Copies of this chain bind each other. A is one copy, B any other.
Amino acid sequence: MLVVMKAHATPEEVRAVCQKIESIGYRAHTIPGAERTAIGVTGNKGEIEPGTLDEMAGVQEVIKVTKPYKLVSRDCKQENTVITFPGTDATFGGKGLAVIAGPCSIESREQAFIIAERVHAAGAQFFRGGAYKPRTSPYSFQGMEEEGLRIMAEIRDKFGLKIVTEAIDHESLALVEEYADVIQIGARNMQNFSLLKRAGRSRKPVLLKRGMAATLEEFLMAAEYVMSEGNYNVALCERGVRTFADHTRNTLDLSIVPAVQRLSHLPILVDPSHGTGKRNKVTPLSRAAVAVGADGLIIEVHHDPDKALSDGMQSLYPEQFEELMTQVRQIAPVVGRTVPAIGIHAPAASIAAKPVGNQLGRAL
């Protein structure tokens, strides 16, 4: 913590602040500047509650310095976390780009299978589909619940797709960890700390979406909650934030990808479907997400979006998803990534090109 004094602060005021700091149990380091004095505070483990320093005579401002994150930080672990999925070569955070695709909601066995077949054929390694839907309105379709999870488990059996689906409370999390391969925590629950702790006690990897107004620090601290309970397989996901801009449903903040990669060893994926909320923006922003260096994409696909029970507006048609995969396959090598070949989930290295240079991909 740093206490910045006013230009005209008297030596007595500086002394009083130093005494206050030491009375709380920290050490004060006076740094006299040309115009004003600053006082560094050390000796704290973790955050200091600045208490009343802010209001003492002569104090201009109190600036927090110590970062609260530990386990998520590259200070704690230098090398990238790579989450692997037994029986496949798919990863979150490895050389291969993770591609997750599927409908917003599981609406029926037939709908889920039609879509799964198409996205599998186009090269997705993961199938997404909501069984528990956090909807703005209580009168909207809330998901098929366990029946939806069962359908997705069948899809895994048939197509070899790994299943990613959202848990919204302790009860649904217990079922999701039973049926699925990845537990998704949605944006609206990013600071549902009770749910984060529960996910931290699970053995399944967690895909944690950024909250709509979450700073980078809050996003990382949400991951810290999961890790602090012992589950180190956490992947982050940017899905757009709230801004004044009204041409998209949310503003997709791609700059968080290199920002996360600089501070943390955790993988970071991007969801351009929620990130834009408009079908015609999903493909361009997916290309951009790969180009910026994201570890994967999560894309909503529906074969009949007019009849979708949720998010029809932002779902790609299967043929649009295929086209997107074609484009992604061309961009990925530029950032040193591989993309699985069509419909084959065995070693996908064949398409990989030599990365352009050492500044790419996850370089710090």
Residues of A bordering B, CB below 8 Å: 2, 4, 6-8, 20, 24, 29, 31-36, 38, 40, 42-47, 49-52, 54-55, 60, 63, 65-68, 70, 73-75, 134-140, 168-172, 188-189, 191-195, 197, 211-213, 215-218, 221, 224-225, 228-229, 241-248, 251-259, 262, 275-276, 278-281, 283-285, 287-293, 305-313, 320, 323, 326-327, 330-331, 333-335, 356-357, 359-360
Contacts and interface: CB of A to CB of B under 8 A. Distances in A.
A293 B284 CA distance: 7
A85 to B, nearest CB: 26
Contacts of A288: 254, 288-289, 291-292
Contact of A312 (B49, B221, B258): B49
A327 B139 contact: no
A323 B323 CA distance: 29
A7 to B, nearest CB: 4
B65 A2 contact: yes
5 contacts: A2-B40, A33-B43, A136-B217, A215-B246, A323-B359
B287 A335 contact: yes
A103 B298 CA distance: 38
Given A242-B242, A258-B280, A310 B49 contact: yes
B31 A307 contact: no
* Copies of this chain: 4
Given A32-B42, A221-B136, A242-B242, A52 B192 contact: no
A4 B65 contact: yes
A244 to B, nearest CB: 4
A243 B192 CA distance: 21
B334 A75 contact: no
Contacts of A140: 46-47
B193 A135 contact: yes
Given A135-B193, A241-B251, 10 more contacts: A24-B306, A31-B40, A51-B307, A51-B308, A52-B279, A55-B279, A68-B139, A138-B193, A168-B192, A330-B356
A278 B66 CA distance: 20
A74 B7 CA distance: 9
A94 to B, nearest CB: 19
A291 B287 contact: yes
Nearest to A49: B312
A38 B65 contact: yes
Nearest to A335: B287
A198 B326 CA distance: 46
